Structures are given as C-alpha cells and as structure tokens.
A and B are shown apart, each in its own frame.
Chain A
Amino acid sequence: RKEVEQDPGPFNVPEGATVAFNCTYSNSASQSFFWYRQDCRKEPKLLMSVYSSGNEDGRFTAQLNRASQYISLLIRDSKLSDSATYLCVVNSGGYQKVTFGTGTKLQVIP
C-alpha cells in the first residue's frame, strides 16, 4: 500500500458545483497534514493545513479523520480558477518524512 493515496481524477465539475477529494495515508503515526495546489506547469503551493478539528478557508474546508486515516478537501461554489491538481501531503515525523500524494486533477468547466 502506498504511504499516501489519492484518486488521480480528473474530476470534471461545472462552475458553482461542490466537489470533494479524499486522501488516505498508511502511517498511523503521521503528525501533520496539508493540501497543496499545483497549476499546470507550475510549482506546488500550500493551499491549507489540515487540523484535527477541521478548518475552513473561504470556500475550502479541510478535514482529518485519524480513525480511518484519511483527509479530505471540500471546495464549494467551484470557480474556473480552481482548476488545478491538488496534492495531499503527510508528515510522518521530521522533514525527511514528508510524503506527497500523486495529486487529484480538478477541471471546472463553464
């Protein structure tokens, strides 16, 4: 089993839709979790951290389920500019234990 797994997609959704991605991780000792966004032919950039209690940033909501070992990202009212690949990132202890998922591609269509 991969350390971090994501559905590669693509998820094709109309503008205004709500879309959710999940990411599962295998190491139960994992300590911190993040979502990064990567636009086509660009570098990854931090979108948001994922806290145990769940957190929200505008239209984006991140949640952590430690019992089932997954994190999720919910995007409400999708915009065309949300089209990108979303990378799940898990830190299992120290900077050498940061594992990136392969990403989920989102395409928001007019």
Chain B
Amino acid sequence: DVKVTQSSRYLVKRTGEKVFLECVQDMDHENMFWYRQDPGLGLRLIYFSYDVKMKEKGDIPEGYSVSREKKERFSLILESASTNQTSMYLCASSLTTQGTVSDTQYFGPGTRLTVL
C-alpha cells in the first residue's frame, strides 16, 4: 500500500512565524503535490513537483514556497505565516509510468494549521 505521511496532524503558529510542513511518501513516486482545503472552496493546488529539485506553481502559490531535495520528501514552507493561511494542508503523490503521469493521487492524512 502507498503510504504518504505528514509531519503533524495539528499545528498552531503565530502570525509572522516561518512554518515548515513535511511530507514523505514511501512508494518511489515521481510526482508530489501540496493542496489546501477550505470549506466551500475544495482542494486548491499550491505547488507540485515532478522530480527532485523541480517545482511548479499551482493555482495559489503566493505566500508559499517548496523544497524537494529527495525524491521521497516534499516540504511546504510558509515564509511568514498569516491568518488567511489557516487551513487544512494535504500532500499527495502519484506515479509516472512510461512517461505518463498517473491520474491517481494518494493523499496524506493532512495537517490542520491554525495561524493566530
């Protein structure tokens, strides 16, 4: 079974703090994603990565950055947390087979971040 883990289930931070969210997958997937999920807005893509050290902006990258130094790990960084970044953050991964990206994404359990 694919396993995607996230460093924290719940996190409380103060405005202006630098926040690191870690995601690790154990299935050697090439692609990794960070989403945020808010009521009424669904899942929105923040950043994704299709290879080590590669990253691409999603729909809402402002205020976030990412790092992928190893294939299994994808980190989301909030440089200076703000209250509007209070949300559920979900990491996902997917496989690339014969040059085709699989549509199936496997999600981690999520990190509920509260910024005070």
Contact = CB atoms under 8 A, between A and B. Distances in A.
A48 B104 CA distance: 10
B105 to A, nearest CB: 7
B48 interface: yes
A49 B103 contact: yes
Contact of B42 (A43, A91, A96, A102): A102
A110 interface: no
Q: How large is the interface on B (under 10, 10 to 19, 20 to 34, 35 or more residues)?
A: 20 to 34
A32 B41 contact: no
Contacts of A34: 103-104
A98 B90 contact: no
Interface residues of A, number: 20
Interface in A1-32: 8, 32
Interface of A: 8, 32, 34, 42-46, 49, 87, 89, 91, 94-96, 98, 100-103
Contacts of B104: 34, 46
Contacts of A94: 101
Nearest to B42: A102
Contacts of B41: 102
A42 B109 contact: yes
Given A43-B109, A102-B42, 18 more contacts: A8-B40, A34-B103, A42-B109, A43-B90, A43-B107, A44-B43, A44-B90, A44-B107, A91-B103, A94-B101, A95-B31, A95-B94, A96-B45, A98-B105, A100-B42, A101-B42, A102-B40, A103-B42
Contacts of B94: 95
